[in-house]
Structure 1
Amino acid sequence: MFKENIKMSWMNVIQNKMRSFLTILGIVIGVASIIALITIVQGATSEVTNQVSAFGVDKITVQAKGTPLKQGLMDNDINKLAEIEHVSGVSPTLSGQTSVVYSGKAKENVSVQGKNDVYFSKTANLLEAGRGINTFDIESKNKVALIGANIADELFWGVNPVGKELLIGGVTYNVIGTLQESSGFSNGSNNDAVIIPYTTAMSFLGTRYISSVDVYMDDSNYSESITSDMERVLNQAFNYKEDGFSIINMQDMLSSINQITSMLTVMLAGIASISLVVGGIGIMNMMLVSVTERTTEIGLRKALGAEPKKIQQQFLLESIFLSLIGGILGFLVGSFIAFVVCMVIGVSFSLSISTVLLAVGFSAGIGIIFGFAPARKASRLNPIDALRSV
């Protein structure tokens, strides 16, 4: 009998194609919205997370804004930061702009960055050729440089720059390496940059102050305690002036990103679910109309001995069929929209099984909830009253 009910329910759905399509339109829109919105948000979140992770979740960055009495950090401050427990290395940064010249060819407004050996040992996929800065370069204030991919292409025209001499701000430097071309968040700025030892950069820029420091952790689980110790050192360095420095913790940033996107996903899914509820109301209205139109059929079946629960089952199955068809169509439409949008904005397209199950399962639940009242009404029709309407 159950198989017969399934067959009859399906036949009733496909016999009224236009009515069925208009009925499930709300479900299609609702499921498509949920699939598309959640997938796009997850793709964008994944992209941002990857970029932030590439920047380094195992490090904490200090921006030394300075005070009137002290314009930045000094070497003794760097040493104190390096002595903090669970700190595996400290990389200072100085930056400025100048021109670079090779064999009569010049490039203006080049970023000059002062770094140390820790930067090269801690940063993956950095070197294209040659070597990085070492401790000897730092201690001796050597005039050595590494150049970005764009500078190598524009000034050297296919010639290996390593070993060549380059004028940086009118001073001769020996090129010891080239940097990999990168479009990533962490190293993208290096394409048009020249990196020299930070001690050399101090002389070049005419300063003894360091503007930025990356503090690397040997265990990110100690991030909170390391940050606390860093605040203590920095407060002493800047005489407890709160505006003298700022600390950027990548782990905290990732946590904030994940929290915001989770809230955004729930909010968007909630808004899209309104369409599902509207679609459910549409199904209920159509089923109530169907019960009215098929009053005679229901009366005959009951007169011939059909049980009320079987009649209720048939109408409930029709409602579920409608919502499931809407859910499947919505899944296909939403997936296509998400794929196109992800391709356009340049983020990865990844459709999670949980999202699909949630959307389709919710649509089936809508069919049960909103189909129950019409099905119950059909099962409770008095066969005598139903047959009188003939």
Structure 2
Amino acid sequence: MTDQPIEITLQTSIAQIGAQDWDACACPEAQNGRPFDPFTTYRFLQALEQSGSVGPGTGWDPRYLTARKNGVLIAVAPLYAKSHSQGEYVFDHNWAHALEQAGGRYYPKLQVAVPFTPATGRRFLTRPGFEAAGMGALVQGMVQIAADNQLSSAHITFCTKAEALAGAEMGLLHRVSQQFHWQNDEYKDFDAFLATLSSRKRKVIRRERAGALDFDGDIVQLTGDDIQPHHWDAMWAFYQDTGGRKWGTPYLTRAFFDLVHADMRDDVLLVFAQRDGVPFAGAMNFIGRDVLYGRYWGCQTHVPFLHFEICYYQAIDFAIRNGLRLVEAGAQGEHKLARGYLPVATHSLHWIGDAGFRDAVAQYLDAERDAITEEIEVLTSYGPFKKENREDHQ
């Protein structure tokens, strides 16, 4: 059979690709257990579509990028046409303002991302054996589509470091940002983790945990079939309250939570504070093969330190008990440092169409990258760990 060139196409619905083909690229490891990244699976991205969380009227219009060789799908990417910069967590609002002030048009733009999800994972999803060819074809296709349609830019957010370095070699601009993650050093239990902290930080965490539990009720962790429909009613109320205060309008629809319950409840950890079995605060996490991803939190009754307990300490407890390597607690938040979550670099890639604007952004990213690197070093040195344990977390 003649070796054909790689064919690039766009699809406006993930259903046009199908679960088997998509997941063969996105999570081939799931044949032997959990996927590394639940967010790029067919069922997660389809839930966003079917629930109306992305699509018409949301500013996230699916344009899934596919690469085929000899008729076989070898690579895919979750690509969206964006009419704004909301729900991305890698902020380019200043770029948009600068280009529009100069008479240009920033939107629409292209975005390779998992909507509303600041979690690191592969963005160029390839069948095993097609890693280099698949990523190269997808990047070339994305850039060509942006250029042919005279779009200002294309962005790949929360990609892996390996993808970032490979993309930079292809001429994309590399941006470094920062999050706070907790690393499991094969701790036997939570007390073993506390033992690695300085005495002062250890006392603070114990006091916070005691304060958080000082209410007439209990804290429960639920996953799989232990999660019932009424739990999603509670989580939706918490999400609406927090989302309304942070973003004005919550990104996800109520239907999304029902679809997650139907198809992904084994991939979810809900942590609730409740009285008489009725939740009044809670957090939603997704479970990867070796990472716990903290996503959403809300509270209807204030209890001191409860946010730290439900979002951070309960996540550490779960990770230790289940042998997970990492807890990613979401975007931003230097307050996580004192709770054992240390700063790490996150990565994104950017293509800018206008040469002058591209040069200006490149200079900005060089300076920003140096500043982020220095900030990570400084914050790590101020971390809560004993001096003899700090080298393990450098």
Would you say same fold, with TM above 0.5? no
Taking structure 2 as the reference length, the TM-score comes to 0.22
> TM-score normalised to the size of structure 1?
0.22
Which structure has greater strand proportion?
Answer: 2
Larger radius of gyration: 1
Point out which structure has higher relative CO (alpha carbons under 8 A, 6+ apart).
1
